[in-house]
Amino acid sequence: MNNRALFLQHVAQTSDAPMGLEMVSAKGIYQYDVDGKAYVDLISGFSVCNIGHGHPQVLAAIEKQITAYMHLIVYGEFIQTPQVRYAKKLTDLLPDSLNCVYFTNSGAEAVEGAMKLAKRVTGRSKMICFDNSYHGSTQGALSLIGDEYFRQSFRPLLPGIYHHRFNDPVALEAIDEDTACVIMETVQAEAGIIRPDPDWITAIREKCTRTGTLLIFDEIQAGFGRTGHLFAFEKYGTVPDILLLAKALGGGMPLGAFIADKKLMRQLTYNPVLGHITTFGGHPVSCAAGLAALEVLLEGDYIAGVAAKEKVLKSKLRHPAIKKLRTAGLWACLEFADFETNKKVIDQCIQAGLIADWFLFNPAGLRIGPPLIITEKQLEEVCDKILLSIEKAGV
Ligand code: PLP
Res. 393: pLDDT tops 90: yes
Res. 204: pLDDT tops 90: yes
Q: Is 335 within the bounds of a domain?
A: yes
**Cα separation of 365 and 192, whole Å?**
6
**Please, which residues have CB within 8 angstroms of residue 297's CB and are 6 or more apart in sequence?**
50, 51, 224, 225, 230, 303, 372
CA of 126 relative to ligand 1 center, distance in Å: 22
**Cα separation of 156 and 152, whole Å?**
9
What confidence score (pLDDT) does residue 205 get? 98
* Best CA proximity match to 260, nearest among 84, 85, 103, 76: 103
CA of 134 relative to ligand 1 center, distance in Å: 7
Q: Among residues of the chain, what percentage have pLDDT more than 70?
A: 100
Same domain membership, residue 379 and residue 345: yes
Q: Report whether 244 contacts 111 (CB < 8 A).
A: yes
Q: Report whether 390 contacts 321 (CB < 8 A).
A: yes
| Per-residue pLDDT tens over the stretch 118-149 | 999 999 999 999 999 999 999 999 999 999 99
Same domain membership, residue 213 and residue 83: yes
* Best CA proximity match to 217, nearest among 51, 237, 199: 237
Chain centroid to CA 1 = 35
Res. 379: pLDDT tops 90: yes
* pTM exceeds 0.85, yes or no: yes
Q: Specify the amino acid at residue 262.
A: K
Q: Is 33 within the bounds of a domain?
A: yes
Range of the domain at 122: 56-299
Which ligand 1 atom is the nearest neighbour of the CA of 111? Answer: 10
Same domain membership, residue 309 and residue 279: no
**Cα separation of 248 and 340, whole Å?**
31
Mean of per-residue pLDDT scores for the chain: 97
Res. 1: pLDDT tops 90: no
Same domain membership, residue 165 and residue 38: no
Q: Is 307 within the bounds of a domain?
A: yes
| Per-residue pLDDT tens over the stretch 134-190 | 999 999 999 999 999 999 999 999 999 999 999 999 999 999 999 999 999 999 999
- How many domains, the chain? 2
Task: Compute the average pLDDT of residues 97-120.
Answer: 98
**Cα separation of 160 and 180, whole Å?**
10
- Strands 126-130 and 161-164 come out as parallel
Q: Which domain CATH number covers 308? A: 3.90.1150.10
**Cα separation of 44 and 56, whole Å?**
17
Confidence band, pLDDT 50/70/90 cuts, at residue 206: very high
Number of other residues whose CB lies within 10 A of the CB of residue 387: 17
Q: What is the DSSP string of 310-358?
A: HHHHHHH---TT--EEEESSS-EEEE-SSHHHHHHHHHHHHHTTEE--E
Q: Report whether 52 contacts 371 (CB < 8 A).
A: yes
Choosing from 267, 299, 331, the residue where a domain stops is 299
Ligand 1, from 247, 255, 367: best to mutate by most atoms within 8 Å of Cβ? 247
Same domain membership, residue 311 and residue 269: no
| Per-residue pLDDT tens over the stretch 228-252 | 999 999 999 999 999 999 999 999 9
What confidence score (pLDDT) does residue 303 get? 98
Helix, strand, coil share of the chain (percent; to 5): 40, 20, 40
Same domain membership, residue 343 and residue 376: yes
Same domain membership, residue 208 and residue 321: no
Confidence band, pLDDT 50/70/90 cuts, at residue 279: very high
CA of 37 relative to ligand 1 center, distance in Å: 29
Q: Is 111 within the bounds of a domain?
A: yes
Same domain membership, residue 282 and residue 213: yes
Q: What is the DSSP string of 359-376?
A: ETTEEEEEEE---TT--H
**Cα separation of 242 and 258, whole Å?**
6
Q: Among residues of the chain, what percentage have pLDDT more than 90?
A: 99
How far is the CA of 134 from the CAs of 14, 27, 50, in angstroms? 16, 29, 20
| Per-residue pLDDT tens over the stretch 258-268 | 999 999 999 99
CA of 107 relative to ligand 1 center, distance in Å: 5
Choosing from 270, 299, 328, the residue where a domain stops is 299
| Per-residue pLDDT tens over the stretch 295-328 | 999 999 899 999 999 999 999 999 999 999 999 9
